[in-house]
Amino acid sequence: MSVQTASPNKIAVINDVFKPSRSLGQEAWSRLIRNKASVAGMFIVGFFIFLAIFAPVIAPMDPLKLHSGKRFLPPPFDQGATNIKAEPEFLLGTDSLGRDVLSRVIYGARVSMVVGFLPTTIILLMGSTIGMISGYIGGKLDNLLMRLTDVIYAFPDLLFFIIVMVALRDSFIGQFMNGLVLLFAALAIVNWVGVARLIRGQVLSLKQKEFVEAARCIGAKDTRIMFRHILPNSLSPLIVWAAFTIPGLIITEAVLGYLGLGLRPATDSGQFFVTSWGVLMLDGQTAINSQPYLLLAPAICVALVVLAFTFLGDGLRDALDPRMRGTQ
């Protein structure tokens, strides 16, 4: 029996040789930048990162300087119900101690941005390491690690934060960086379980894929299989997860700040973290009737950042996995 074929050589060559080649990542990026909402989200996030980095240059005043006799100044564009005369150099007015609100809000971006990105990095590293080990090695170790994540998952987050922040407030770690390190640690401990479960699931399904079997067949070592084959293919859900978790962390920080458990107020303006939006909201609520901007300014910032990240996350999910489009 003979098998007739067309010349396979020609068939292979005819295929568009001149089309530029793009990786899956590049294709996802081009889908992402076509999504208007996520591009807007990216710009807003970029803007706040810029504010956070260059706060000393951008802020019109020292955020800690007390302007005597200029307490509770309304913003120049809205005199409101007070009879205190607004002054043009205080664009958003002043607070109860005569400090410039705009400058304080700008400095507040630092905490929110760092709280968004730094714990997320720790969480991703911790969670994916544990998830990867759990899924790849399997067996008893997997069972042990997954029961541990179940326990942590079941613990109420906010309660955990409050207990940790109150109990360790005066310890060495609680004092470090105005209490932010303690906050990061608490956020990381609570949130790594989600990543670990996500990655474990990815590893379990990817482990069965033929390309992983092919890698074993050519004699690749376990570390290579994990880092070259499994990890790059688990990145998409990880990136999407991060984009949705960052706003969650920012809100948590604001809530804790509002409860008086977050960042402790800085005493001199040489410190990197002067204040946070949560702390500003706590300050601002006392004068909500006469001075709404004290509360509104940081609240709008929080809402804007959270919304921007959510748009970005939506766009990333659609771009990285087109099959997921339109799902929640």
Partner 1 sequence: MTDNNVLLSVDDLFKHFPIMRGVLQRQVGAVRAVDGISFDIHRGETLGLVGESGCGKSTTGRAVLQLHRPTSGSVRFEGTDLTQIKGEELRLMRRKMQMIFQDPYASLNPRMTVGEIIGEPLLVHKVATKAEADERVKQLLELVKLNPSFSTRYPHEFSGGQRQRIGIARALALQPSFIVCDEPISALDVSIQAQVVNLLEELQNKFNLTYLFIAHDLSMVRHISDRVAVMYLGVMVELATRDELYSHPLHPYSQALLSAVPIPDPVAEAARQRTILTGDVPSPANPPSGCRFRTRCPIAEAICAESRPEFREIRPGHFVACFFADRYL
What does the binding site for partner 1 look like in residue numbers (CB under 8 A)? 1, 3-6, 8-9, 11-13, 15, 17, 19, 21-25, 143, 209-211, 213-221, 224, 228-229, 232-233
In whole angstroms, the minimum distance from the beta carbon of 239 to partner 1 comes to: 13
Rounded least distance, CB 195 to partner 1, Å: 20
Rank residues 232 and 260 by Cβ distance to partner 1 and give the closer one: 232
- In whole angstroms, the minimum distance from the beta carbon of 237 to partner 1 comes to 14
CB of 31 to partner 1, least distance (A): 14
Q: How many CA atoms lie within 13 A of 255 on its CB side?
A: 12
Distance CA 267, CA 154 (A): 38
* Beta carbons within 10 angstroms of residue 287's beta carbon: 16
Place of tokens 């770690």: 173
Closest to partner 1 by CB, 15 vs 68, is: 15
Task: Give exposure, 49-81, as e/b (b: 16+ Cβ within 10 Å).
Answer: bebbeebeeebebbbbeebeebebbbbeeeeee
* Contact in structure between 51 and 58 (CB atoms under 8 Å): yes
What is the rounded CA–CA span in Å between residue 111 and residue 63?
14
Measured from the CB atom, the residue of 22 and 325 that comes closer to partner 1 is 22
> Would you say 215 or 261 has its CB closer to partner 1?
215
Least gap, CB of 311 to partner 1 (angstroms): 26
Comparing CB distances to partner 1, the nearer of 215 and 281 is: 215
Q: 295: helix, coil or strand?
A: helix
CB crowding 103-139: b at 16 or more within 10 Å, else e: bbbbbbbbbbbbbbbbbbebbbebbbebbbbbbbeee
Residue whose CB is less far from partner 1, 17 or 159: 17
Question: Which residue's CB is nearer to partner 1, number 134 or number 252?
Answer: 134
Minimal distance, residue 174 CB to partner 1, in Å? 40
First to last CA, the chain: 55
* Least distance from partner 1 to the Cβ atom of residue 148, Å: 16
